[in-house]
Amino acid sequence: MSLKGKVAVVTGGSRGIGRAVCLELARQGADIVLCYAGSEDAAQETAQACEALGVRAMARVCNVADSVQVKALMDEAMAAFGRIDILVNNAGITRDGLAMTMKDEAFDAVIDTNLRGTFLCMRAVSRIMMRQKYGRIINLSSVVGLHGNAGQVNYAASKAGVIGMTKSMAKELATRGVTVNAVAPGFIETDMTAAMADAAKAATLSAIPMGRLGAAEDVARAVAFLAGDEAAYITGQVLAVDGGMSM
């Protein structure tokens, strides 16, 4: 239990990769504050699953693109637990479509949640972690942010932006014992990939050297590594969890 005594805030923690991250961090001993924007039932179920692993957990609704709500989330986490050691910026959405027909609203919504939301959460915890002289920030990017993808210009821009922010924040916070890294998942088995057409899924698998989709737990274990003391000298890096797609 290498994270025992630590407190983690995980955005978008109710399902998929976010849920797997919550459970893995809890398994390693961290208390969990998860935020969600969708199903309260799913969020409470995740919190209860974390508590069943012997840690404290709470779920709160939060729109990460709203600075007032983000501050309220972090204030509540501090009031409940007294510290924030780990921030995992996982909240994200897609609004796919070709650039030439993409609506302004579809572009703005993805940038607001995926990029602005990540910034607001990092900004909100940076002072807390600097005062503690300890912190781990892990941002979820994507292989799409590294290589682009047709039909996802908004998503690719947001995830590439997350990488740029990760490196910049890493430089700003390094002297205060705070590391900032990114994890870039490839194609992971989630509700999103389950909805893919068979032909699209086959084409995706052909581009993965390992020949299979990843599991949410694969990403969660990478996040937990970067959150632990074993990664204390790693900052400003992007760890691709993609079965070799980005080689």
Q: Per the structure block, which two tokens stand in for 179?
A: 């590391």
Q: What is the mean pLDDT of the chain?
A: 95
pLDDT, position 203: 81
- The pTM of the full predicted model, rounded to 2 decimals, is 0.95
Q: Tell me which residue of 200, 116, 205, 208 sits closest to 154, measured CA to CA.
A: 116
What are residue 57's phi and psi, to 5 degrees? -150, 145
pLDDT tens readout for residues 17-66: 999 999 999 999 999 999 999 889 999 999 999 999 999 999 999 999 99
Contact status, residue 90 vs residue 143, Cβ threshold 8 Å: no
pLDDT tens readout for residues 160-214: 999 999 999 999 999 999 999 999 999 998 876 776 677 877 888 888 999 999 9
Q: Rounded to an integer, what distance in angstroms lies between the CA atom of residue 41 and that of residue 10?
A: 17
Q: Where are the domains of the chain?
A: 7-240
180 pairs with which residues across the strands? 137
pLDDT, position 1: 66
CATH of domain 7-240: 3.40.50.720
Contact status, residue 114 vs residue 158, Cβ threshold 8 Å: yes
pLDDT tens readout for residues 72-121: 999 999 999 999 999 999 999 999 999 999 999 999 999 999 999 999 99
Write out the H or E segment, with its range, that includes residue 216: helix 216-227
Does the structure show a pLDDT above 90 at 237? Answer: yes
pLDDT classification of 220: cutoffs 50, 70, 90 = very high
Q: Which residues have a catalytic role annotated?
A: 155
Contact status, residue 34 vs residue 13, Cβ threshold 8 Å: yes
Provide the pairing of β-strand 57-61 with 238-241. Answer: unpaired
Does the structure show a pLDDT above 70 at 12? Answer: yes
